[in-house]
Amino acid sequence: MIEFIVVSIFLGIILVFIHFFCDRIHINISAHKMKTASFTAGIFVTYFFLHLMPEIYKGDITTTKFALLFGLIGFTLFHIVEKHTYKKTRGYSLKRRLGTEHSIAFFLYHLVIGIVIVNLLRIDLLNGVLFFIPIMLFTAISSLSLKGIHDVIVSNRLFRTLLSISTLVGIVFALFLTLTPIVYFSVFGFIIGSLIYVLVMDAIPKEREGSPLFFLIGVVIYSIIIILTVF
């Protein structure tokens, strides 16, 4: 039990630092952004096909259907919100208002990610870590990070700190919370659906961008890791 709590808190602290220093991380990896994005995409695609889908179908028919339904909801909601944001973003005041709305959504989304991490760790520590790795990489390079929020909000140290601890808050909250299977699979499905949208629209390099080699490296490395966990 103590080991489970320590690992949960430790992973949450890692994400706090990634959130808080995302701008510096972004600058440091910008020279190799396409390679990093391709590698991350390879890892997540591998995780999705070799680990996530089998896990979803381990449940009964009802929980599996809820997971897939909320996966669709997560994907659809992210698409609608993004399109709405692009169409409505005109002028400084509107951008700031949208930045505030984005901040609230950001906090709630990463809070839920923290809840999912804890529930996966509660089932199996290795299972939780396998989920955490793609989340960590996504957070560092994608629109799931603070760099996608309005500069005025991010420059405020109090707001930046509150947003940075969002996943850790979710983790601490989940340590005292036990979800029913249907609720857990619904939340898990929603997170995965939204992550798939970010992967398709944001993380995977388009057309001539990106590196097929680094994508393949990500696939091979994570495939080996997942296969080794089976034995």
pLDDT digits (tens, 9 = 90+) for 96-155: 555 666 677 778 888 999 999 999 898 888 888 999 998 888 777 765 555 555 555 556
What is the reported pLDDT for 141?
A: 73
Using CB atoms within 10 Å of the CB of residue 92, give its burial: 0 to 12 exposed, 13 to 18 middle, 19+ buried. Answer: exposed
Q: Tell me if 217 is assigned to some domain.
A: yes
Are 141 and 26 in contact, with CB atoms under 8 Å apart?
yes
Q: Tell me if 15 is assigned to some domain.
A: yes
Range of weakest confidence among 46-60, 151-165, 187-201, 215-229:
151-165
What is the reported pLDDT for 202?
A: 66
Q: Tell me if 131 is assigned to some domain.
A: yes
Average pLDDT over residues 42-67: 85
3-class SS of residue 30: helix
Which residues span the domain enclosing 221? 2-226
Q: Tell me if 164 is assigned to some domain.
A: yes
Average pLDDT taken over every residue of the chain: 79
> Could you tell me the pLDDT band of residue 4, with boundaries at 50, 70 and 90?
confident
**Dihedral of the CA atoms 14, 194, 112, 147 (nearest 10)?**
50
Distance, CA of 204 to CA of 38 (rounded, Å): 6
Distance, CA of 125 to CA of 108 (rounded, Å): 24
Domain count, the chain: 1
pLDDT higher than 70, residue 39:
yes
Q: Tell me if 180 is assigned to some domain.
A: yes
pLDDT higher than 90, residue 210:
no
Q: What residue type is assigned to position 9 of the chain?
A: I
Distance, CA of 14 to CA of 19 (rounded, Å): 9
Q: Tell me if 231 is assigned to some domain.
A: no
> Could you tell me the pLDDT band of residue 27, with boundaries at 50, 70 and 90?
very low
Q: Tell me if 68 is assigned to some domain.
A: yes
Q: What is the DSSP string of 123-187?
A: H-HHHHHHHHHHHHHHHHHSTTSGGGS-HHHHHSHHHHHHHHTHHHHHHHHHHT----HHHHHHH
**pLDDT tens digits for 163-177?**
888 999 999 999 988
What is the reported pLDDT for 138?
A: 79
Full-model pTM: 0.82
